[in-house]
Amino acid sequence: MIFLIPLAIWLSTVNCYLAFYKDALQSFRRSLLTAATGIFFFIAAATELLSAVNLINTVSVSSAWIILNVFLIFWYQNLKSRQEGEIWQTARSWVLSSRAFLKNLGALTQGILFTLSGITFLVAVIAPPNNMDALSYHLSRLGYWIQNGNVEHYASHIERAISFSPFSEYIHLHTFLLLGNERVFQLVQWLCLAGILAYISLLVELFSGTRSAMRIALCFAATLPIVVLESMTTQNDLVVAFFILASAFYVFDYAKNRSRSALILLVLSVSLGMMTKGTFVFYALPFGLYLFFFMFFRQDLRKSLAYAVAYLTLGVLWINMPFWLRTYELFQTPIGTVTNGNKNDFGNPAGFISSVSKHTFLHLGFISPQNRYNAFMEAQLKSIHEAVGVPLHESGYGMDFKMNKLNFNEDFAHNFIGMLLILLSLPLLLLTNISRNARWYAGLAFASFLVFCLFISYQVYGSRLHIPFFLLISPVIGLVYSSVLKFVLTRFLLIILWICALPFALLSVTHPLLSTRWFFEKIFPVINSGFHLNINTDNLLNLKQESILYSSPEKIIWGDNWIEIQSLKYFVDSLQARKIGFDFTEASLDYGYQYILRAPERHFEHIAVRNASSKLENPAFVPDCIISEHDEGSVFSYHGKIYFKKWSGTFRWIYVPEKYNQTLPK
């Protein structure tokens, strides 16, 4: 039934084209992006409505998509009869406009975009999800939602699974119920990146950029290391970036064209962005304030402003309120409590300077002989902190700072060349001749980064949280550098970006297309010793992985722990356990256990929960065995029933009821 989703997207795109964009510029891209936003809103609304009546299951979700497609077909018939527009005519128009767009990109840009997108698409489809956050909380919630028939909160040792915004997982929920497996999970972020590139192209054209500006902007965005890596995962930073870029585009689209549809799409984008990730607010806030004052200071737009504010409030509350209420009832706050450690202590202006500098320097580290470059850069950062009177590792301003070298992990990779180009663009902005709207946009993009740094403290994995900023600034990078670089230098820049991005597409440490073991055992030692880099990889086993082409899905998910987990699986299966209790830590790979233990009529629940969600535990749940990541001793009592330790791993134990204690070998 998974075909229902692309069918709905195609029908929506055709309908949007016929209804709104047939005679407009950029008709295909605008139609597709509008359709995608509408489909996303349908997923969010349908999930909450079905959940309210406990109908989160394959039949109900499939029925919802069938109803949507039937509606879209009838809408198309109505549009066709009124406008005499046939699908084949629409398709022909799209082909012609796509050819013209690709011609403007040029062969080099096409080659860069298609090679990177082709490699990441292949990895996203072949490899099962194995990102740490995905296995811990992004995907783990799906199993419990399906079991319970709703998306209500449940007892969980992993607070992030019941307090972090859920929209990306709603998409995964629908695809899983329609397809029956995880095969397309990682395509969500890949497709969102494609949508982001479309928005970047529209922004460049909105600011009257040249073909050179378009090429630089798109290649800058598509070759960012953290973006390349995340496009192959089930995290949600590219999903939220899609809505941030959409919001920024519709703000400036309305400012230029006064289109009512831009305001409607802005309302939908903001509502969905807030449902995706909390960082949406920080990056979108400057653009929202710009539009507010833009409309407020124009007498003829104040009525439209009042309507926009009212519809925005209703849209945000209608789509987000159910989740916020569930979270508030549990944690007495609608945003949960696990993010408290990431908040900045922004009462001191010096702390803001500390935050901005550390977030910036996070991307400026690199490998060098004897690590001299990083030592020099860290000394400069310490000098900045000494000048403002804040210690570099001051509590209240984030984690202890650490200069990056070179990392192929989607949680820690940084954007060295990207940040250099951004910093160099600051003085160039004063010298280049770009439009007034483009300068406003550039100012707001930089302001969004400052707002983020004001509220969110430095974290070693902050690079992925910066993704929206790097993508927001991409049109500016295109406009600035296209105005100062000649044709040959532009091509040279694009080739450098491409060459530097390819290793991240091919050698991701979590799911490499090429074997990272081969690279780090055969190639890297020569480089390491030849340039005196002094990088020790002996204890970094996650750097040395086999290609996903030759690894089993279970091995890809569990890595070097798979042998032990395989033994755990055989033991649990030998019990013929139908009800399995999880006694986990906050960082447990919950979905990894679900993946290898999933079976018909098998039921999972968290037990002996140690946080506020313990009140949601089911007192009638009597597990056939308990998988624990806490050593509860030789005997474990749960709900008045005695369980005995009968299997032990490195940091895992299995407890069984008394009836098995005498029959099973230790």
DSSP per position, 330-368: HHSSTT-STTGGGB--TTSHHHHHHHHHHHHHTTS----
Once rounded to an integer, what is the mean pLDDT over residues 521-532? 77
Q: What is the pLDDT at residue 340?
A: 58
Q: Report CA-CA distances (Å) from 259 to 102, 107, 126, 643.
A: 27, 34, 42, 65
pLDDT confidence band for 407 (50 / 70 / 90): confident
Of the pLDDT bands very low, low, confident and very high (cuts 50, 70, 90), residue 345 is low
pLDDT of 546 reads: 84
Residue 534: is its pLDDT beyond 90? no
Is residue 537 within 8 Å of 544, Cβ to Cβ? yes
CA pair distance 137, 504, nearest whole angstrom: 25
Q: What three-state secondary structure class fits 635? A: strand
In a domain, 396, yes or no: no
Any idea what the Cα angle at residue 386 is, between residues 381 and 387, rounded to 5°? 95
pLDDT band, very low/low/confident/very high, at 34 (cuts 50, 70, 90):
very high
**What is the rounded average pLDDT of the residues 223-250?**
97
Q: Please name every residue paired with 625 in a beta bridge, in sequence order, or none if there are none.
A: 580
Examine residue 588 and state whether it is found in any structural domain, yes or no. yes
3-state secondary structure 359-406: HHHCCCCCCCHHHHHHHHHHHHHHHHHHHHCCCCCCCCCECCCCCCCC
User: For position 664, what pLDDT does the model report?
Assistant: 57
Whether residue 18 lies inside any domain: the answer is: no
Task: Give the per-residue pLDDT at 215.
Answer: 96
Token pair in block for residue 277: 């990730």
pLDDT of residue 580: 96
Provide the token pair at 510. 């979590």
Q: What is the mean pLDDT of residues 154-162?
A: 95
Q: Is residue 452 part of a domain?
A: no
Of 150, 139, 144, nearest to 50 by C-alpha is: 150
- pLDDT tens digits for range 607-656: 999 999 999 999 999 999 999 999 999 999 998 899 999 999 999 999 99
Q: Is 574 contained in some domain?
A: yes
pLDDT of residue 371: 87
pLDDT above 60: residue 244? yes
Average pLDDT value for residue range 386-404:
84
CA distances from 489 to 103, 158, 492, 506, 646 (A): 20, 50, 5, 26, 67
How much of the chain exceeds pLDDT 70, in percent? 95
- CA 232, CA 188: separation in Å to the nearest integer? 9
Which residues, listed in sequence order, are joined to residue 603 by a DSSP beta bridge?
579
Stretch 510-520: mean pLDDT: 83
Residue 550: C-alpha distances to residues 190, 553, 555, 616, 653 (Å): 23, 10, 10, 42, 30
Residue 582 forms part of a structural domain: yes
Helix axes 416-431, 487-506, angle to 10 degrees: 150
The amino acid at 498: W
**Cα-based distances in Å from 285 to 206, 288, 447:** 21, 5, 9
Instruction: Report whether 266 contacts 294 (CB < 8 A).
Output: no
- Strands of the 641-648 sheet, one edge to the other: 603-606, 579-583, 625-628, 653-657, 641-648, 635-638
Contact 157, 583 (CB under 8 A): yes
State the Cα–Cα distance between residues 652 and 422, nearest whole angstrom.
Answer: 46
Mean pLDDT score of the chain: 91
Answer yes or no: is pLDDT of 369 > 90. Answer: no
421-475 residue pLDDT tens? 999 999 999 888 899 999 999 999 999 999 999 988 888 888 999 999 999 999 9
Is residue 616 helix, strand or coil? helix
CB atoms under 10 Å from CB of 664, counted, come to: 15
Higher-pLDDT residue of 340, 18: 18
The residues, any chain, with a CB within 8 Å of residue 222's CB and separated by 6 or more, are 112, 113, 116, 117, 193, 197, 228, 501
What helix, strand, coil percent values describe the chain, rounded to 5? 65, 5, 30
Q: What is the DSSP secondary structure assignment for residue 602, as one 8-state letter?
A: -
Which amino acid type is present at position 628? S
In single-letter form, the type of residue at position 11 comes to L
Cα angle 422, 274, 439 (rounded to 5 degrees) comes to: 30
DSSP-based three-state secondary structure for 456 = strand
Split into its structural domains, the chain has a count of 1
Rounded distance between C-alpha atoms, residue 436 and residue 529, angstroms: 51
Element (H, E) at 658: helix 658-661
pLDDT for 541 equals 47
* pLDDT the model gives residue 341: 56
Its pTM surpasses 0.85: yes
Is pLDDT larger for residue 533 or for residue 393? 393
**DSSP letter, residue 129:** P
What residues make up the domain containing 566? Answer: 558-661
Return the closest-CA partner of residue 141 out of 170, 120, 115, 180.
170
Q: What is the pLDDT of residues 576-617, one digit of tens each?
A: 999 999 999 999 999 999 999 999 989 999 999 999 999 999
628 lies in some domain = yes
Q: Is 437 exposed, middle or buried (0-12, 13-18, 19+ CB in 10 A)?
A: middle
pLDDT of residue 338: 64
- Averaged over 274-294, what is the pLDDT? 96
Q: List, as one string, the DSSP characters of 77-123.
A: HHHHHHH---HHHHHHHHHHHHHHHHHHHHHHHHHHHHHHHHHHHHH
pLDDT (0 to 100) of residue 410: 92
Q: Residue 602 domain-assigned?
A: yes
Query: Which amino acid makes up residue 58?
Result: T
- Let me know if 45 is exposed, middle or buried by CB neighbors in 10 A (0-12, 13-18, 19+): middle
Burial class (CB in 10 A: 0-12, 13-18, 19+), 269: buried
